[in-house]
Chain A
Amino acid sequence: MNNPSEKDLNPVESISIDLDAEFRESNIREILDKLDRELIGLKPVKTRINEIAALLLVDRVRKQIGLSAGAPSLHMCFTGNPGTGKTTVALRMAEILHRLGYVREGHLVSVTRDDLVGQYIGHTAPKTKEVIKRAMGGVLFIDEAYYLYKPENERDYGAESIEILLQTMENNRDDLVVILAGYQDRMDKFFQSNPGMRSRIAHHVDFPDYGPNELVAIAKLMLAAQNYRFSPDGEKAFEEYIRLRMTLEYFANARSVRNALDRARLRQANRLFTQGKKTLTSIDLMTIEAEDIRASRVFLEGKLDHTAGAIS
């Protein structure tokens, strides 16, 4: 009607906003630092989270001076191999979005196909809606999302669930953030058969596999969280262990590390028990020695694998 540009632009130029102060106020630094400290590697993931945090912060500042833009769509898709930290990052994401005021509650509702899809006609919609209602104000994390859609069975109710999800993702964008997670190739197939889903997800984040050094760093963090630590020999043994374990089947990144550590703790306890030492120091109780690691089956199988390779 009238010319808004002149009227609107003038006051805007005169206002200056301290982005740094805003940044400090939101406590986002603390949470990003925590992310940096506790999550080893995952460079692309951290970059994307930083970008999102920056966007939300700038948006907030813009809103203060009356430059409104629609709320950005923050539905995400996490792809990566097992044990690369998708769930952990999703949890952290809920916290970050809460700090930035994008979601109201900041809780994470983690579901799989079973929680969304019903078993008979008319069962799916209420089930999916129930889950969505529970997730409102927070983040809905759908693990192994590609199982929602089963193309081989045309009477599968997964499609109905997807339809309801799509509708909420569009209409209730302010109320919840949906994060899908799964393996790269299967997610690609899932998106191919559900183009509507792909276009509604703004952020596709790929979780790379960890290198051996990163896995050792992760192991140390995990141990520290449980008040354990490696002896220098133990650390060396664990490095070797990881290199061998990575060549074996069913390697699941950080999850394999966690399992290995759990078994090492078992062996450490057994060692302390059987060695018959009368008095134990706190150092004894805390330290994982090389022998606790080297007793692993992996050293046997890994080497066997190696020699087999050499023969053939």
Chain B
Amino acid sequence: MMTNTGNHLTQGQFSFLPALTDQQISAQIKYALNHNWAIGIEYTDDPHPRNTYWEMFGNPMFDLKDPAGILLEINNCRKTFPNHYIRVTAFDSTRGVESLKMSYIVNRPKSEPGFGVVRQEREGRNISYTIHSYATDKSEGERY
């Protein structure tokens, strides 16, 4: 059964916790910076779990030393897309890894209607299931 615990999208790190404060976000960014991971800020209004590639807000940020600069960008993104999902990602470029090491949501729409189950009847009385975000019934940019 698909549930929507606390009307809350649970993807990435810390998603079962209450929203991170700016101070906590800074501490997480600091951790990533200490490992020389490149930080990116991404947003979307289609939070389907299989929607891997969100839009990037600006370029990924390399060679920064201090989280303040990234927090500035996050706040810019929040101002531009107050009703979108925004996540912060940390990309590890080490050979052999070359993928995200961290990803957590830093901004959510005010109300998150969640997902519903869609049943499709197939041959031989088989049922295939998939999930569908209620929000995506509307067009892009008007979903939340």
Q: What is the interface of chain A, defined by CB distance below 8 A to chain B?
A: 104-105, 107, 132-134, 136-138, 172, 174-176
Tell which of B62-70, B115-123, B136-144 binds the partner: B62-70
B contact patch SS: helix
Residues of B near A134 (CB, < 8 A) are: 63-65, 69
A contact patch SS: loop
Contact B68 A138 (CB under 8 A): no
Residue of B nearest to A104 (CB): B66
Q: What is the interface of chain B, defined by CB distance below 8 A to chain A?
A: 61, 63-70, 72-73
Contact A136 B63 (CB under 8 A): no
- Interchain CA distance A174-B71 in the complex, whole Å: 14
11 CB-based A-B contacts, threshold 8 Å: A107-B65, A133-B70, A134-B63, A134-B64, A134-B65, A137-B65, A137-B67, A137-B69, A172-B68, A172-B72, A174-B68
Residues of B near A104 (CB, < 8 A) are: 66, 68
Which among A132, A133, A138, A175 is the interface contact of B61 at CB below 8 angstroms?
Answer: A133
- Most central of A104, A172, A176 by chain B CB within 10 Å: A104
Nearest chain B CB to A71's CB is how many angstroms away? 14
Residues of A near B66 (CB, < 8 A) are: 104-105, 136-138, 175
Nearest chain B CB to A153's CB is how many angstroms away? 29
Residues of B near A174 (CB, < 8 A) are: 68
Residues of B near A137 (CB, < 8 A) are: 65-69
14 further A-B contacts with Cβ under 8 Å, apart from A134-B69, A136-B72, A137-B67, are A104-B66, A107-B65, A133-B70, A133-B72, A133-B73, A134-B64, A134-B65, A136-B68, A137-B69, A138-B65, A172-B72, A174-B68, A175-B66, A176-B68
